[in-house]
Structure 1
Amino acid sequence: MNNGCDFMYLSDNVSNCHSFIFNIKLADYLEVTDLARTSGGNIDGQRLVLKSQSAKKIREQMTSDFENGGVLPPVVIGVVDQGYEVNNISSSGDIYKYIKENRDSLCIIDGMQRTEAMIRARNCMERYIRVELWLVRSLNKLIYRMLVLNTGQVPWTMQRQLEVVMVPVIKRIQGSIDNIELPTTNDVQRRTQPGKFQASKIIESFLVFGSRSEKVNTRDAIAEEYVKLDFIESSSKQEILDVYIEFLKRIVNLDFQFGRIDSKNENYRKFKKGCDILGSQPALIGITTAFAIKILGRPKLDYEPEKQRKNMDVIIGGFDGFIDKLKSMNVNELSDFVNLQALNAMSPSSASTKIGDQERTFFKGAFNVLIEENFDIPNMDVCWGH
């Protein structure tokens, strides 16, 4: 029975996503996904076709099964389209036309290995395969969809899921914020100036902003269930990315002001110059957590959207005034105000394996003081000595 014209539609009312499952000829699928397949899924960070011996053996078995009439699990593709209207699709032909027109932005969310296996199948180009298409109006909802799709799958940690979709987010951040530079881990560039952050560190900061917990560590514990649930819950209620970008704009401005303290003091233990403050991941995570909680509410205790908007206006306005105050100072005044000597003396110095957690908590408390004092402090000693 030829089911090539059938499709099934479901709406995800939580994340405002649209799911279509349909059948398509393999040849047509390969045509519309050509760019995605040759561009690493069209999502930087997507797992490429694996080349290990075990992966090859598994693909060979999939190819053999497919050649013999086996049905592989659906390949999952995605498109971010802010102007998409669900009523525009009423048949599988409409779906094919849509993905063909949007092939440049189409991404393969899940199925690179299956696609490679089907390509190797002989005389199967006229076979129908099953494909799932997710249409979303924002990158943040695509992130939400990826988390829901992959949560609980052992081979995919939270970090891996985010890497698959976060580079478009990083690009949006770069397009929204002046004077920010976000090299990836592949670039292996050291931080040498204000406004320059490893992209992976901004990813972690964004995750922390969503979960509002400074104890998230994308390198070691990002797959823990409480992190997943907190982030999913928060991102499903509002456009966290938009709020985060407004916050990050101020962080970059603050970083440039701290960076004016450029004379390096080798006698200081860790923070030898101003650029070192927000170049420290614990400091970035601490300030992120403090602002996220004050704007959005504590984990499990979200403020109503109207209160969040009011908090945003008041807190960001105060933050802008604080940065303007720093801008008005000369370098000597700024150095006295920030007081790196006091910061080095008061920040955690334990050799404990938990030093990272201690530092994050320290900076969360420090910047929490700044917010609670409405950004009106005589100097940063008030924050460092909290």
Structure 2
Amino acid sequence: MQFEVIGIDYDSRIQNFMVSARADYEWYLEKTQGSEENLAIQRDIIRGSKPYKNLRADLKLGCILPTIVLAVRDIDQTVLENYSKDEGFIQASRADLDVLQGAITESVPTDFDIIDGLQRTNALRQTLDDLEQDEREPFLRRSLRLEIWVNIAFFPLAYRMLLLNAGQRPMSMKHQIDILSGGLANDIKDINGIEIFRVKDHKRRVRPGQFHLSTLAQAFQAWMQRSPNVDRTNLVVETMVVDEALESLGIDLTSEDGNQRDGFRQFVEWVITLDQALGEEQNRFFGNDTVVLGFAAATGFAHKNDTLQDRLPTAMAKLIEAAHEDAAEALGVEIFERIRTTVDTKRSNVGEWTRGLVFRAVREYIMQEGTSSMRDCWTQAASMG
């Protein structure tokens, strides 16, 4: 297997180093083994379309694939401190490149995420499977160009991905966030009390604090776009949402206090605290994706609203304090369940209606800075729907 780091660059906008590299197919396919399964919550892998059939045919003939973009975690990047971030064209020493090369080579498949190139990776694997045994070794020796983002945090990567896709006929925003979900999980896995399930785990929630990664990825999207309904079919609306998300992420990238990252982390911490206060008897409340998404959208709305952003922490502190006394009463779980049963299933999409209800109720609670009970806020939200 062959892998070679050939250069480094620094992106001043997202404040992260990127490594340019070459690898043979064997090294690449080994390092990304399982990535297709890890990303099963994103768009389906295309198996039969004509362009990808043509690509597999071209791969057999020795074509060079467009550069694939990876992210790699937990790399010792001490040698990067030798270089000025203001230097436009970094001339890295071979010794330092070799150190990075060794560190990346030692990384295991779970450290890598495919950011751009999932379909190409699948095409490589399918082509290899189609070859006769004596054809495989020469195939695996062919070279591939890689762009590897070293230890990049979730939010800068989200900004970069959304920006690059914005000028094309893009994947939906949901798909893009799903692709980045591995980075999101890595960013919040240290929150006290959280346990994150991936699709391949085949686990179900049985206690507070347990959430599927797909739910958290959708919650981030709802939080960022300030809307509880994350499945967009209107391309005009989708474009507007992406533009707004880019502006939001872009502003926070330059925020010295890490506003965007800490804002979403704070939301997750609040949910975990309230979930634990409810306990196993009320495990279904935050086990309901519609509740999580509505809650995320409402706190995201307040976080980005000049009037409400100062009320948000006060309101949540009051809610948590009340929840420690009687969580079910503080959150108004009983009245929420009663209101939810009143929806006309023939005239409304139950999930969409419920997400809207949660969004309006939590937003109202924040607007009142916690001075109204959630019981009252549920009633008000139901009258607005």
- Does the aligned pair in 2 maintain the 1:75–1:131 contact within 8 Å? yes
Instruction: State the secondary structure of the residue aligned to 1:100.
Output: helix
What is the distance in 2 between the residues matched to 1:106 and 1:42?
13
Cα distance change of structure 1 residues 210 and 325 upon mapping to structure 2, 3 Å threshold: same
Q: What do the CA deviations read for 1:97-151 (whole angstroms, capped 9, x no partner)? A: 4243223145443242465569967657776653333346412212222333445
TM-aligned CA distance change 1:135 to 1:149, over 3 Å = farther
**What RMSD over aligned residues (CA atoms) do the two structures have, in Å?**
4.2
Matches within 5 A, 1:89-238: 90-91=91-92, 93=94, 94-95=96-97, 97-103=99-105, 104=107, 105-109=111-115, 110=117, 111-113=120-122, 116=125, 123=138, 129-135=144-150, 137-151=152-166, 156-178=171-193, 180-217=194-231, 224-238=238-252
Alignment of 1:76-87 (within 5 A): 76-80=69-73, 85=80
8 Å CA contact retained: 2:224, 2:297: no
More helix by share: 2
Change in CA separation of 1:184 and 1:125 when aligned onto 2, cut-off 3 Å = closer
The yes-or-no answer on 1:295 pairing with 2:303 is: yes
Letter paired with 1:322:
L
Measured in 2, the distance between the counterparts of 1:256 and 1:6 equals 46
Q: What residue identity is the alignment partner of 2:268?
A: L
Query: In the alignment, which of 375, 380, 383 is matched to residue 381 of structure 1?
Result: 375
Q: Secondary structure at the match of 1:14?
A: coil
Instruction: Choose from 218, 236, 246 the match for 2:266.
Output: 246
Shift of 1:183: 2.4
| Contact 1:347 1:359 survives alignment (8 Å) | no
Larger mean CA deviation between 38-47 and 195-204 belongs to 38-47
How many pairs align? 347
Residues 315 and 355 from structure 1, CA distance in 2 versus in 1: closer, same or farther, beyond 3 angstroms? same
Q: 2:15 is matched with which residue?
A: 16
1:300 alignment partner in structure 2: none
- Report 1:27-38 matches (<5 A): 30-31=26-27, 33=28, 35-38=30-33
2:76–2:103 Cα contact (<8 Å) kept: no
The structure-2 alpha-carbon separation of the partners of 1:321 and 1:82, relative to structure 1 and needing over 3 Å to count, comes to farther
Structure 2: segments with no counterpart, 5+ residues:
84-89, 253-257, 381-385
Q: Which amino acid aligns with 1:252?
A: I
Identify the match of residue 323 of structure 2 among 308, 323, 326.
326
SS in 2 for 1:131: strand
Question: Do structure 1's residue 369 and structure 2's residue 364 form an aligned pair?
Answer: yes
CA displacement at 1:323 relative to structure 2: 1.5
Any stretches of 5+ residues in structure 1 without a counterpart?
A: 263-273, 298-302
| Per-residue deviation, residues 329-381 of structure 1 (Å, max 9, x unmatched) | 4x8xx54982614651377602224443332222112112211222233x432
Instruction: Give 1:43 shift.
Output: 6.0
Contact 2:71-2:149 within 8 A present in 1 as well = yes
Mapped to 1, the partners of 2:331 and 2:178 lie a distance apart of 38
Give the residue type in structure 2 aligned to 1:365. R
Amino acid at match of 1:90: Q
Shift of 1:159: 3.5
User: 1:317 Cα deviation (Å)?
Assistant: 4.3
Match of 1:62 among 58, 65, 90: 58
SS of the residue 2:210 aligns to:
coil
Q: What CA deviation, in whole Å up to 9, does each residue of 1:291-343 have, x standing for no partner?
A: 1121222xxxxx5xxx99xx36x5324423321222124x8xx5498261465
Greater Cα shift, 243-252 or 357-366:
357-366
Work out the CA distance in 1 between the residues paired with 2:268 and 2:246.
Answer: 21
Instruction: Determine which of 271, 280, 291 is the counterpart of 1:283.
Output: 291
- CA distance 1:347–1:383, shift in 2 (3 Å): farther
- 1:146-187: CA deviations, max 9, x gaps? 333445666844443333321232243232231x33323444
Residues 83/353 of structure 1: CA separation in 2 closer, same or farther (3 Å cut) = farther
TM-score (normalised: structure 1): 0.71
- CA 1:16–1:353 in structure 2 vs 1: closer, same or farther (change >3 Å)? farther
Aligned in 2, Cα 1:190/1:108: closer, same or farther, shift over 3 Å? closer
Structure 1 partner of 2:354: 359
